[in-house]
Structure 1
Amino acid sequence: MPSNELKRKGRGATDFCCTKDNKLCVVKWFDNREVILASTYKCVDLVEPVRRWDKKQRQFIDVSCPQIVKEYNQFMG
């Protein structure tokens, strides 16, 4: 999916592509900007809400987030 389509769908929009044998999965997720991650063991099986600050509303909102992104953020310093 092109980047502008994800942006049009809004925060939490997700697109993914897996190989035929499911050994590699590439996930594109839109938060404030587009995030692209590839994994050999996780895909978008599980999508959970995460809290993100919305600048326009000046409050926290819930945004859907794939498990692969949550794990990446957990282990990054």
Structure 2
Amino acid sequence: MKSIVTLAAALALGSLAIGTPAQAKGCIKGAIVGGVAGSMAGHGKMGAAAGCAVGHHNANKKDRAGQQGQPQQGR
């Protein structure tokens, strides 16, 4: 479990250093939470992958909800 948490933290720091927050939005937080929860059940890598997918989906859903209330510009 300690190695999975260390790996998740290293991946999070590495992805922050790359500087592509638009593509990884929600994925890092979801992967860390999913990795920790999955490691409790013995499936840390699957938990991290699922957490990334769910976190990214939720971040996109929040972005779409925020854009619907804003008027379009340039017309």
TM-score, normalization by structure 1:
0.30
The structure with more helix, counted as a fraction of residues: 2
Instruction: Find the structure with the greater CA-based Rg.
Output: 2
The structure with more strand, counted as a fraction of residues: 1
TM-score, normalization by structure 2:
0.31
Which structure has more relative contact order (CA 8 Å, sep 6+)? It is: 2
